[in-house]
Structure 1
Amino acid sequence: MRRHVIVLALAAGATGAGLTAHQLISDAPARRRGAVVVATESIAAGRGAALVRAPTRPFEPAALRQAVRAYLDTRPGEAGVMAADLRTGLSFGENEKGRFVTASIMKVDILSSLVLQRQRDRSALTAGERQLAEPMIRESDNHAADALYSAAGGASGVRKANRSLALKNTTPFPGSWGSSLTTPADQVRLLKNLVSDKSPIKAPGRRYILGLMGSVLDEQAWGVSAAARPGERVALKNGWTPVRHQGQGWAVNSIGRVTGRDHDFVIAVCSGESPTMEAGVSTVEHVAEMVVSTMRDSH
């Protein structure tokens, strides 16, 4: 049984202000995959002491790609991943241009589009829009998403905003935002727009969106958080839905940012045609952890 505890990150000078850390505390031993455990004693003992770092090795994307493909060959359905370390400049993709049903990860695109539109109108989100944005991201409220999708101009409004955000392979679906299509590569571009000073979305808007992503409900803090290590901060949004008209099985996706002392990862893992939601979550978490772990130990 895994319990999720959200802890506010207060480290002075840390990047990604406004995020919270999703610290996943497992009732099993701490080495369990996907568990991020608070290492209070280790941190305290290490103060003032020299840190011993494991030697890095050259990054070999071909070997990682082979490993990811070998794992996915054992899993039902299909998946794609894109990840980038904003500190080291390393990036990796496997089936990153594959098209997947968005489900609720589309809610980040909806909010980003609306923030950008209001910014260009030299205004801000209304109080009512903020009251909808919080449950849309933190609780994955679909009714709030319906209202904000409409406020953003629906498919045409989000499509126009996406051109400014360089999302070339995301297709907003008219009426039903969850039926939109996207790629892991596009989702990483969206995440980069939430962390970069070069983004058309200004800093207050970026902090606002990431702050909501950093405080999702405990039970929704799965997915790319499996790649986090003790003390690291996670901001994420997950999506999951049974698919009937655009395939079969479940679409299960996770996008987010994992920020630590030496790394700053933006990650998107999308999957489709899983027989159950649980199977999709397992695939997404394993791929995220596999890719990020390899990139951490490389240079």
Structure 2
Amino acid sequence: MRRTRNLVLMIAAVGVLGGGVLVARGMTGDDPASSALAAFQQAPAATSPSPSASPTPTGPSPEELAAQERKKRVKALDAALKKYAATVPEFSIAVYDRKTGETYAYRGDEKYETASVVKVQVLACLLLTAQDRGRKVTSSEDALAKRMIRNSDNAATTSLYSKLGRSSAISACNKRLGLTQTKVSSSWGLTKTTVKDQVKLLNALVDTKGELTASSRKYAHTLMSTVAEDQDWGVPAVAKAGEEATVKNGWLSRSTESGLWIINSVGRVTDEDTDVSIAVLSHLNKTMPGGIKVVEKAAKLTRTHLKY
């Protein structure tokens, strides 16, 4: 009786420790203790439930989604501009978005004669020169600059161009502003440039970390946002209600191209949500109005597809 009682106690203890229940037949072998121990050894060990794995992120990140969307828009814009280009004289266009830091360019490395858009380069060089000499623009320089930008006055441009040091001086200023695809001509209107360089120049006029001081940037903005009414075309056609546009246009009936027209427009469109620089260069236009229509349509296509 004592052995049986001890065995029952041992089995009960094993049952508690093992977390399982031993059935009565485990006590019926030749050696009750061995049978009980065998049952304990064969019983599955109690285990704690495995912690569930932490969920892993699935799908693209917001940055990847934005890049995918940008790629789709660029592809659609490329196709739209290519289709339009097949129906009109030759043009190139670039858009630099300061909010995203991205530049879009269609035929961005093609070189065109600037006509009067070179006057923005002359203005920038005037401002840099005044800064370097530790002074403001003089009253006579101010009068010339206003006529040059607001009215596209050629005589005023020639005067400033000469005072600054002609092509070598303008070229040196361009280098400071990061223009690498522009070759200044001794006949300033025949300077050759690309739309990529032109949006670089436009951005240099507003870059708070660039070469131009705050007062110089404000001066350039004031002139380019107050051009004569008859010259308020091109880039401003892209602006929506409430947005501000700055612009400098160029137009020239080129004798070397059978009297066909160079029509160019460079400028910026801004508000709280939009901050872009746009440059459109074209040539071989049959008429000036026809060329204006080309550059404005091309600019509008960039807005439609890039959605800035």
* Fold match (TM-score > 0.5): yes
Contact 1:88 1:263 in 2 (8 A): no
Per-residue Cα deviation, 1:101-129 (whole angstroms, up to 9, x for no partner): 10110111001011111211212221100
**Structure with the largest fraction of strand:** 1
Match of 1:193 in 2: 204
Q: Are 1:241 and 2:249 an aligned pair?
A: no
Q: Are 1:271 and 2:271 an aligned pair?
A: no
Determine the C-alpha separation between the residues in 1 that align with 2:225 and 2:273: 19
**Structure with the largest fraction of helix:** 2
Match of 1:85 in 2: 97
Match of 1:108 in 2: 120
Determine the C-alpha separation between the residues in 2 that align with 1:272 and 1:109: 20
Task: Give the drift of 1:248.
Answer: 5.4
Task: Give the drift of 1:294.
Answer: 1.8
Contact 2:77 2:306 in 1 (8 A): no
* 1:219-258 alignment runs, 5 A limit: 219-245=230-256, 249-258=260-269
Match of 1:125 in 2: 137
Determine the C-alpha separation between the residues in 2 that align with 1:115 and 1:218: 25
Match of 2:80 in 1: 67
TM-score (structure 2 length as normaliser) = 0.75
Determine the C-alpha separation between the residues in 2 that align with 1:96 and 1:58: 22
Determine the C-alpha separation between the residues in 2 that align with 1:227 and 1:293: 10
Match of 1:48 in 2: none
Mind listing any 5+ residue stretches in structure 1 that lack a counterpart? 1-55
Determine the C-alpha separation between the residues in 1 that align with 2:209 and 2:242: 28
C-alpha RMSD over aligned residues: 1.5
Larger Rg: 2
Spell out structure 1 runs of 4+ moving beyond 4 A.
Answer: none
Determine the C-alpha separation between the residues in 2 that align with 1:79 and 1:236: 18
Q: Are 1:284 and 2:299 an aligned pair?
A: no
Q: 1:150 aligned to 150, 154, 162, which one?
A: 162
Task: Give the drift of 1:261.
Answer: 2.5
Task: Give the drift of 1:170.
Answer: 1.0
Determine the C-alpha separation between the residues in 2 that align with 1:212 and 1:226: 18
Match of 2:194 in 1: 183
Determine the C-alpha separation between the residues in 2 that align with 1:81 and 1:259: 18
What letter is aligned with 2:285?
A: S
Contact 1:90 1:295 in 2 (8 A): no
Identity %: 37
Task: Give the drift of 1:135.
Answer: 1.0
Match of 1:260 in 2: 271
Q: How many residues align?
A: 240
Determine the C-alpha separation between the residues in 2 that align with 1:170 and 1:248: 24
Determine the C-alpha separation between the residues in 2 that align with 1:110 and 1:246: 26
Greater relative CO (CA pairs within 8 A, separation 6+): 1
Q: Given the superposition, is the C-alpha separation of residues 151 and 266 from structure 1 closer, same or farther in structure 2, using an over 3 Å criterion?
A: same
Task: Give the drift of 1:255.
Answer: 0.4
Secondary structure at the counterpart of residue 172 of structure 2? helix
Match of 1:295 in 2: 306
Match of 2:172 in 1: 160
Mind listing any 5+ residue stretches in structure 2 that lack a counterpart? 1-65
Determine the C-alpha separation between the residues in 2 that align with 1:82 and 1:248: 26
